[in-house]
Amino acid sequence: MGRLDGKVAIITGAASGIGRGSALCLAKEGAAVVAADLNSQGGEQVIAEIAAGGGRAVFQHTDVTNEADVQALVGRAIQEYGRLDVMFNNAGLAGASGPIEAVSADDWDKTMAVLLRAVFLGIKHAVPPMRKAGGGSIISTSSVASYLPAPNVAAYSAAKGGVISLTRAAALELGHDRIRVNCICPGAINTPILGDDPVRLAQALDNLQPIPRVGRPEDIASMVLYLASDESQWITGTAMIVDGGLTVGQNFPYWSALRAARSRSESDQPMQAGFSGPSFRR
């Protein structure tokens, strides 16, 4: 018997990384999963893997910055499975980078659209079916960047901080409907958003935090499972830090090591302004 038997979960950014790991985890525990992503090929692979394991899942191509797409995503969950119990707003990208005076307003806005506006849209459209069902769990992905902001990624840090504030505000509004709203702040997780060479990333990031190994998607999926399950039914408005102890000690060289892991050269030149979109498009 699974911990999520009878529940229906939407997961955005489900084609890779944390989203993929969470989709597989929740399906294994009995949830019917609606996997959403711009990456159709990766999304279809995830639901095929779930089906091969005896689980239930469908894929919905979704631009999480587009309200009509998010509304259609929620509608797909109702159409396929008749209800919605869990909404995991996880889709993300690295977004705008570079010195803050060099970041374009357009790149800033695109970053906010994916990392913050999309969370708002996911919460907004999850509420009606959850209220009808008598409750539910809304989970969003923030980041330890909310607590340890870094040079040259101001937009990412600001957006992830906004996710925490939005989570707390929504929890206040929705608690009387038995809708719980929480977010997760991952540390350094070995996913495509950090780079396309997982072995090299692991070597660079294994000793970044007190627990001497890089984070894995499964580490975050375990927290998603807990927040999605009835075991967390009295928890709302929280930002769960899952980082191997990274934020405990400021002496751990997080951002310098992360920059080194992502750099493809030994150049000491200042970072150039730019924008990193979805990992599957790199």
Residues carrying an active site annotation: 156
Phi and psi, residue 225, nearest 5° = -60, -45
The residue type at 51 = A
Per DSSP, the residues of 185-248 read EE-SB-STTT-S-HHHHHHHHTTSSSSSS-B-HHHHHHHHHHHHSGGGTT--S-EEEESTTTTT
Amino acid code (one letter) for 3? R
Contact in structure between 12 and 118 (CB atoms under 8 Å): yes
User: How far apart are the C-alpha atoms of 182 and 228, rounded to whole Å?
Assistant: 10
CA 14 to chain centre: 9
CA atoms of 89 and 137, how far apart (whole Å): 11
> Do 247 and 105 meet the contact criterion of CB atoms below 8 Å apart?
no
Cα–Cα distance, 219 to 243 (Å, whole number) = 9
Residue 114: DSSP 8-state? I
Take residue 228 and report the two structure tokens written for it.
């999605």
274, 104 Cβ separation under 8 angstroms: no
181 and 188 Cβ atoms separated by less than 8 Å:
no
Nearby residues of 175 by Cβ (< 8 Å), 6 or more positions away: 236, 237
